[in-house]
């Protein structure tokens, strides 16, 4: 009898643990989806005055910017400073760039900044979700 009660208790704890894990997974997935949506909204608000995802505007297109060598979109005319940039964009560099572009490439043509860290993080997270 004692073994049966022990088995029932362990089974109940296991089921509760699985249920909790599933609940946390659902919340995390919903949270990440909300961040993507927030990132898209922040991107549209802060970036689309000069940039688009799939075509050059005043600034180069930004789809696939993470992992791209700086200054290499063939259809965009970069400043001399950006033409001489010798790095590949990653999240950390984009964060630094959006904070102060001259700290990354002195003399570049982009003077716009995103002062709020949470907005920079949302934009970068959104850019990471985009498919080629």
The 10s digit of each residue's pLDDT in 74-120 is 999 999 999 999 999 999 999 999 999 999 999 999 999 999 999 99
CATH number at residue 69: 1.10.760.10
| pTM across the whole model | 0.72
For residue 45, being part of any structural domain is answered with yes
Q: Distance from CA of residue 6 to its chain's centroid? A: 47
Range of the domain at 83: 34-129
List the structure tokens of 64. Answer: 């696939």
Between 2-11, 30-39, 84-93, the lowest mean confidence (pLDDT) is in 30-39
pLDDT at 19: 61
CB atoms within 10 A of CB 62: 25
Sequence-separated (6 or more) residues with CB below 8 Å from residue 84: 71
Label residue 40 exposed, middle or buried (CB < 10 Å: 0-12, 13-18, 19+): middle
For the chain, the domain total comes to 1
For residue 108, being part of any structural domain is answered with yes
For residue 24, being part of any structural domain is answered with no
Q: How confident is the model at residue 43 (pLDDT cuts 50, 70, 90)?
A: very high
Residue 13: pLDDT above 70? Answer: no
Helices (H), the chain: 2-46, 80-83, 91-99, 101-104, 117-129
CB atoms within 10 A of CB 65: 21
For residue 43, being part of any structural domain is answered with yes
For residue 72, being part of any structural domain is answered with yes
For residue 8, being part of any structural domain is answered with no
For residue 46, being part of any structural domain is answered with yes
């Amino acid at each position: 009898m004692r073994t049966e009660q022990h088995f029932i208790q362990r089974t109940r704890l296991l089921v509760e643990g699985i249920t909790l894990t599933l609940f946390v997974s659902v919340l995390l997935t919903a949270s990440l989806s909300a961040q993507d949506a927030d990132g898209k909204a922040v991107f549209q608000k802060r970036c689309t005055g000069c940039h688009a995802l799939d075509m050059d505007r005043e600034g180069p297109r930004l789809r696939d910017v993470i992992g791209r060598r700086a200054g290499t979109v063939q259809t965009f005319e970069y400043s001399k400073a950006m033409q001489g940039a010798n790095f590949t964009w990653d999240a950390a560099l984009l964060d630094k760039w959006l904070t102060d572009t001259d700290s990354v490439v002195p003399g570049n043509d982009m003077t716009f900044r995103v002062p709020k860290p949470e907005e920079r993080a949302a934009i970068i997270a959104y850019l990471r979700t985009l498919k080629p």
